[in-house]
């Protein structure tokens, strides 16, 4: 019984020694890694000349970023000044539209035709219209010239095609709604009718037949 107890104590002692040895080895490994890292850091340490070059590079990058930010700020400030009233200007175009519609309604009223009242009213409407256009122009809001111009998708929107053998195909021959620009931007496109080549009787008959079949 005593021998077994001694044997157990010896085994426990040996196990403790092994654990202590493993712990010491781990500590040595850790210390070795730390020493290696320190050596690598020492090897990576820059010379004074290299540090100066690095600082110059960082300084150059910082100045470049500051310059880019300044330019962005200037561009945003210019855009805010030039186009800050874009939405207001677009809404204000309704005044022009309403004046033109009012004029057309009065001109087409049979009961007012050739009357002095109509003449005077149209004169006043023309004065208001021209004054409004003048105010817009002073604020860089200008009407787009459309009639007899070639269709430009950047400025015009074709709403219909009209047969015309006198005009080149794609020429604007009717202005449905006037378009405007603000500075170098499109405020709204002109709604227009463009010329197309007249059809001969055979082509018209063929088109009518196709339309009838589709119905």
Per-residue pLDDT tens digits for 170-190: 999 999 999 999 888 899 999
- pLDDT 10s digits, 47-101: 878 778 888 888 788 878 888 877 887 776 666 656 667 888 888 899 889 998 9
Mean pLDDT of 4-28: 57
Long-range CB contacts (within 8 A, 24+) of 34-39: none
The number of folded domains in the chain is: 1
Cα-based torsion angle of the residue sequence 111, 117, 122, 128 in order, rounded to the nearest 10 degrees: -140
Asked whether residue 100 is assigned to any structural domain, the reply reads no
Q: Has residue 181 been placed in a domain?
A: yes
Indicate whether 203 belongs to any domain.
yes
| Model confidence pLDDT, tens digit, residues 50-62 | 778 888 888 788 8
In a domain, 207, yes or no: yes
- What integer pLDDT is reported at residue 130 of this predicted model? 92
Cα separation, 185 vs 90, in Å, equals 12
Q: In this structure, what CATH number is given to the domain that contains residue 181?
A: 2.30.22.10
**What are residue 171's DSSP bridge partners?**
150
Tokens matching residue 75: 């561009």
Is position 156 within any domain? Answer: yes
* Token pair in block for residue 213: 């079949």
Average pLDDT over residues 152-161: 94
Does residue 145 have a pLDDT over 60? yes
pLDDT-based confidence at residue 4 (cuts at 50, 70, 90): low
Q: What pTM, to 2 d.p., does this model score?
A: 0.56
The answer to whether residue 182 sits within a structural domain is: yes
Mean pLDDT over the full length of the chain:
78
Range of the domain at 212: 143-215
Would residue 154 count as lying in a domain?
Answer: yes
Q: Is residue 63 part of a domain?
A: no
- Residue 140 φ/ψ region, left for φ over 0, alpha for ψ in the -120 to 50 degree band, beta for the rest: left
């Amino acid at each position: 019984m005593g021998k077994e107890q001694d044997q157990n104590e010896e085994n426990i002692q040996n196990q403790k020694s092994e654990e202590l040895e493993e712990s010491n080895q781990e500590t040595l490994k850790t210390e070795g890694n730390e020493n290696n890292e320190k050596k690598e850091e020492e090897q990576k340490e820059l010379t004074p000349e290299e540090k100066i070059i690095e600082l110059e590079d960082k300084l150059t990058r910082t100045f470049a970023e500051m310059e880019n930010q300044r330019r962005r700020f200037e561009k945003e400030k210019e855009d805010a000044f030039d186009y800050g009233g874009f939405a207001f200007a677009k809404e204000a175009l309704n005044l022009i539209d309403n004046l033109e519609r009012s004029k057309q309604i009065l001109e087409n009223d049979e009961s007012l035709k050739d009357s002095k009242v109509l003449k005077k009213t149209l004169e006043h409407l023309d004065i208001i219209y021209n004054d409004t256009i003048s105010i817009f122009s002073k604020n860089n809001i200008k009407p787009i010239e459309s009639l007899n111009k070639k269709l430009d998708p950047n400025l015009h929107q074709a709403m219909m095609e009209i047969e015309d053998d006198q005009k080149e195909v794609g020429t604007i021959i009717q202005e449905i709604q006037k378009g405007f620009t603000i500075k170098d931007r499109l405020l709204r496109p002109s709604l227009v009718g463009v010329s197309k080549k007249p059809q001969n009787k055979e082509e018209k008959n063929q088109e009518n037949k196709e339309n009838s079949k589709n119905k």
